[in-house]
């Protein structure tokens, strides 16, 4: 291969590495100080780069923040999908719950960044669309697995259908992570989430639904 043919590949690899280091540094700085209190200079200093390196990858600090959120959110969605991909049509709820809660990213720093993003999204419809898209993909991964198992493992009647159960699962995760932000006890949060999801998806499966329809606030 000629030097001219190899140069673009080296630049691309270097740029990917630079972007990854900026994202890692931004994650640390955002978690420590909070979005809105961080400057581009602080991110660059933490990453060991100049402002030029920053602007070759991101136009604004907002763009970097969104890229960071998408990266972590995509990781969580993929973790859940992979954890639910096992088993045949018969869903072993306790085993599936164990797999999901074992791989879920229950990390206080991530939750701090995620909460900043949620607050930001609450004030900006365009940002809210990004957050809603991630939550929709997460729910779809859960609902799809529950739907495929419906003939063998019925969804508790009180939750309505697979989509209703998926909303409830995400809501339970949200509740556990709020508590984790306050007490910082990751092991307790993981145990509590396992117990809550198992009870949610098994207990009450023979109870009749108490409402004419279901609402999905999550």
pLDDT of residue 30: 93
pLDDT of residue 218: 44
Find all residues with CB under 8 Å of 55, minimum gap 6, and list them: none
pLDDT of residue 211: 40
pLDDT of residue 204: 45
Is residue 148 within 8 Å of 96, Cβ to Cβ?
no
pLDDT of residue 47: 95
For 127-143, b/e burial (b = at least 16 CB within 10 A) is beebbeebeebbbbbbb
Average pLDDT, the chain: 80
Query: Looking at residues 163-174, what average pLDDT do you find?
Result: 87
pLDDT of residue 133: 85
What's the CA gap between 177 and 113, in Å, rounded?
12
pLDDT at 11 over 80: no
């Amino acid at each position: 291969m000629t030097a001219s043919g190899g140069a673009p590949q080296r630049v691309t690899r270097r740029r990917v590495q630079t972007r990854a280091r900026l994202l890692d540094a931004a994650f640390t700085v955002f978690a420590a100080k909070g979005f809105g209190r961080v400057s581009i200079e602080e991110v660059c200093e933490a990453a060991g780069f100049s402002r030029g390196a920053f602007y070759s990858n991101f136009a604004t600090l907002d763009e970097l923040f969104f890229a960071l959120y998408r990266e972590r959110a995509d990781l969580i969605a993929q973790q859940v999908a992979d954890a639910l991909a096992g088993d045949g049509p018969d869903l072993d709820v306790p085993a599936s719950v164990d797999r999901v809660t074992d791989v879920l990213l229950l990390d206080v720093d991530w939750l701090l960044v995620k909460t900043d993003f949620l607050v930001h999204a609450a004030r900006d419809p365009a940002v809210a669309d990004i957050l809603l898209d991630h939550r929709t993909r997460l729910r779809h991964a859960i609902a799809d697995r529950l739907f495929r198992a419906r003939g063998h493992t019925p969804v508790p009647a009180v939750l309505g259908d697979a989509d209703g159960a998926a909303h409830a699962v995400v809501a339970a995760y949200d509740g556990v992570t709020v508590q984790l932000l306050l007490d910082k006890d990751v092991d307790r949060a993981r145990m509590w989430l396992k117990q809550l999801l198992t009870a949610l998806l098994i207990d009450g499966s023979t109870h009749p639904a108490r409402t004419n329809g279901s609402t999905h606030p999550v």
